[in-house]
Structure 1
Amino acid sequence: MQSPYYLAPSEADAERYLLARGKGEWVDEIAQMIEGQHAPRSRQDSPFALVELFRRADIADFSLGMVSMDLSATLLGQLKAAFPNAGFHRRLLQLGMAGSVSHLSPPAHVSPLRRGLYREISSTRRVKT
């Protein structure tokens, strides 16, 4: 499966950001997280535990929790309340209804819910940071 066109520039931006902050050792892991976030199948074969965790958080976030990725409805509800999506999903729907899904610009931010899901999932597992 070919990655959406906006992921390569996101990987390049992340690499520049990390290198500028002396975190060059994180580049491969973050690049895999960006590239694998839309993967329909598990990325547990990655040497980086966060790649699969981020993919699961992305799916739970994008689906508004309808695909729970083994997270409880209670937890998803708490995360939605703590990290409102600020119109992120509404905008995706608007773009889709306008026939623009294939021409999406890279999101200006990662949705707050996704950040919360990522934090919750990663806090339940021992991960290398």
Structure 2
Amino acid sequence: MLTALPLLDDVLEHHAAQLGRDFAAYRNHAYRVANFCCVLAEMHGRRVDDDVLRAISIAAAFHDLGIWTDGTWDYLPPSRRRAHDWVHAHGHGHCDWQVDEMIGQHHKLTAYQDDTLVETFRLADLADVSRGLVAGGIPRAFRREVFAHYPNEGFHRRLLHFSCRHLLRHPLNPMPMLRW
């Protein structure tokens, strides 16, 4: 189990003020997604080397961050923009395309065909958001270990709050982040 991802932590520390009281909840969500993504990537034959772990860490840190940084439920564009700016500012531009796709496609309702890591990131987020009900093949024992080590801290309750608030303001577009 991954317990220390310095890139992920650096990004989140930089945005701690914007995350506010949701810092621990979002950090734990990002760590759960990163852990699930690594396991799924290996299950799909992808070796998790330093480059893969770098992409996973950056994508996990930024994938939902626009909710807090930009105050919007339509958070994929600002999350992608912030990730793009960060990878180029910190010398990680070589992983920009993959990180952008991991963030931009993580709410795709159908499988992503063009890149294994993008698809495993999508499945990892789904496993976490569904609290393991849609596990994508992640072993139950590992899910339990990760959920125990990185508790929810109210993350799902906050998502429900944000989604209800958006629904009241935009009833014809309740889930703008979903992709086909």
Q: CA deviation at 1:24?
A: 0.9
SS in 1 for 2:142: helix
- Superposed CA offset, 1:106-126 (max 9, x none): xxxxxxxxxxxxxxxxxxxxx
Select which of 31, 36, 43 maps to 2:100. 31
State percent identity of aligned pairs: 34
1:51-88 residue CA offsets vs partner (Å, 9 max, x unmatched): 01110101000001111111122221111011112211
In structure 2, the gaps of 5 or more residues are 1-72, 170-180
Distance 2:120 2:127 in 1: 11
* TM-score normalised by length of structure 2: 0.49
TM-score, length-scaled by structure 1 = 0.67
The CA deviation at 1:6 is 1.3
Give the counterpart letter for 2:139 in structure 1: S
Relative to total residues, which structure has the larger helix share, 1 or 2?
2
Aligned-partner Cα distance in 2 for 1:95–1:14: 22
Q: Quote how far apart the aligned CAs of 1:95 are.
A: 3.6
Aligned: 1:68 with 2:135: yes
Specify the code of the residue in structure 1 equivalent to 2:74: Y
Root mean square deviation, CA, Å: 1.8
Q: Kindly indicate whether residue 77 of structure 2 is the aligned counterpart of residue 8 of structure 1.
A: yes
| Superposition misfits of 4+ residues, deviation over 4 angstroms | none
What residue in structure 1 maps to residue 53 of structure 2? none
Counterpart of 1:78? 145
Q: Please state whether the residue corresponding to 1:51 is helix, strand or coil.
A: helix
Distance in 1 (alpha carbons) for counterparts of 2:137 and 2:83: 29
Aligned partner of 2:51 in structure 1 is none
Q: How many angstroms does 1:49 deviate by?
A: 2.6
Q: Distance in 1 between matches of 2:75 and 2:161?
A: 19
Alignment correspondent of 2:90:
21
Q: Which residue type is aligned with residue 100 of structure 1?
A: R
1:56 partner letter:
L
Q: Does 1:87 align with 2:174?
A: no
If asked which structure has higher relative contact order (CA below 8 Å, sep 6+), I would say 2
Matched residue count: 96
The separation in 2 between residues aligned to 1:70 and 1:26, in whole angstroms, is 26
